[in-house]
Amino acid sequence: MTSKQLLESSRYLLKEVWKMSFIILPVIIIHMGFDGMDLVNEVFLGSLSLESMTAGVLAQALCACLIAVPLGMSGAQETLVSQAYGVENRRLMRAVLLRSIIITLFLFFPIIIVCCLSKFIFQVIQHDMNVANMASKYVWVMIPGLFPFVICKILSSYMISQDRLLIPCLVSITNIVMTVTLNLLFSSVGHDAIGYLGTATSSSITRVFSLLMLCCSLLLVNAGPDQHGDSFIQQCKGTIKEAFDLKGIKEHIKLAIPSAVVVCVDHWSLESLTYILTEFGEEYVSAHSVVVSITLIAYGIPDGVATATTSNIGCAIGSRQPKRAKWLCWISIVISFVLTLASAGLIFGLREPIICIMVQNKNVEYIIERVMPVVFVYQIQDGVQLVLNGILLGLGKQFWSSIIIVIGYCIVGLPIGSVLAFTLDLKILGYWIGLCLGLFAICHVIVLYLMAHVDWDWECDKAQKRIAELDHVNSIKSTLPPLKTEKSVP
């Protein structure tokens, strides 16, 4: 490579890093705002009795496991919307969004049934019947906010795919402010009156309010005619027709199921430990919950980078820019590693005051302190793994992502963790070591897969073919704008 080519490559790299930075920052805020509500609730639960905290933790873990399914299924939307945005096919984007919402609605029927049976579930896994009954009541209060929360995430993802970041960013900030305010309000009137259910009540109210804000914002933004001159009513009619197209549903499900596997295995691997650790007592359950909440502080950063990566790579693939997509792939990995290392290092350095804020029990504090060095390593690997899966999501390779995740967690991580926890009596520490080993395997396999098997030009052709097969714009005699052509990329 000549010095001139090296200079051009450096300029292009800096330009892409600069552009990615402006997208990543608001997306991180969006994710931390929506996911940070559970962290706020953990802080307020930590100020109550160990029994109340354990009940709240068990209930939140069950709800997180249940909504992981519709959240994972929405991964198909991220792929299809970002690639359709690359070819500026807004009708298809709206159809994919509506299809995703309809699928979520159907998934919530069994979720509500499981929530109604939560009392029996907790009685099976929890030896203390009082804690089981308290956890069941907590779930009932959480139910009204579960569907709005998932739809908020779907709508936010839809807007992020189009670089419409201001509205979801403002809504996510409002989430945190409102959750803290409501928790403080319920605390001020006395927990004797509202009890530990105050945190669940604040979450449900905030999530319903957030959905109303996002829906109103979307209606206002899309109230006018679209690029083809169709009115809002005409847009809705065309969207409904395409959303129920059998070919579109088949392609959506084909991408959605492995996406759900990825998210479910990732979430369930952590949340299932909440129930497994009941064998060691309430202190270990509370300690694990606090550790998971601490990881959530930094989780929003790589999660935001991953979402931005999926959107940008999907758009680049859809607009036939293979070289740019390849650059974005490796840029995103580096950015995620640097940001996660910095945030995880900061949290590890401030672990003592953070633990003191979240926990009032000395035994629980000791257990958490013992696990934190392993959690530091876990956070770094998890940050890289999120972005790597975001890359595969943008490419529409959810199937391979799901296979790698299942092997990493279910064949490597959890079995090794179980041996360390029970056989070597490391308990919670053993499980976190197992999770680290599982993530280590996942990261290396995905990197090798990207280096050896991804043909970026072929991926562009595949995306174009997918969008063309799902495109019903031509069938109603409308024309699409010309496709973008890739500029010279070093």
Residues 6+ apart with CB under 8 A from 259: 72, 73, 74, 75, 76, 79, 393, 398, 401, 402
- Give residue 126's pLDDT: 63
Q: Which two tokens stand for residue 374?
A: 């392993």
Q: How far apart are CA 60 and CA 42, in angstroms?
A: 10
Q: What is the pLDDT along the chain (490 residues), one digit of tens a residue?
A: 577 667 777 777 777 777 777 788 888 888 888 887 877 887 787 777 777 777 888 888 889 889 999 999 988 898 888 888 888 888 888 888 889 999 999 999 999 999 988 888 888 876 678 888 888 889 999 999 999 999 999 999 888 888 888 888 999 999 889 988 888 887 665 544 466 788 888 889 999 999 999 888 887 776 555 555 555 556 666 677 778 888 888 888 999 999 999 889 888 888 788 778 878 887 888 888 888 888 877 788 888 888 888 888 988 888 888 888 888 888 888 888 898 899 889 988 888 888 888 777 888 888 888 999 999 999 888 888 888 888 888 888 888 888 888 888 888 888 999 999 888 888 889 999 998 988 888 888 888 777 777 888 888 888 888 888 777 544 433 334 444 444 444 5
Phi-psi region of 471 (alpha: psi -120 to 50; beta: other; left: phi over 0): beta
Q: pLDDT tens digits, residue range 262-271?
A: 889 888 888 7
What are the φ and ψ backbone dihedral angles of 187, each rounded to 5 degrees?
-70, -40
- Give residue 489's pLDDT: 47
- Give residue 235's pLDDT: 64
Interior/surface letters 9-42, b for 16+ CB within 10 angstroms, e for the rest: eeebeeebbeebeebbbbbbbbbbbbbbbbbbbb
Q: How far apart are CA 170 and CA 166, in angstroms?
A: 6
| Residue where the block lists tokens 């906010």 | 145
- Give residue 91's pLDDT: 80
Sign of torsion, CA 435 436 442 445?
Answer: negative
Q: How far apart are CA 202 and CA 212, in angstroms?
A: 16
Q: How far apart are CA 490 and CA 432, in angstroms?
A: 42
Q: How far apart are CA 446 and CA 23, in angstroms?
A: 24
- DSSP labels for 233-284? HHHHHHHHHHHT-HHHHHHHHHHHHHHHHHHHHHHHHHHHHHHHGGGG-HHH
User: What is the enclosing helix (H) or strand (E) of 98?
Assistant: helix 90-116
Phi-psi region of 203 (alpha: psi -120 to 50; beta: other; left: phi over 0): alpha
* Rg of the chain taking only CA atoms, in angstroms: 23
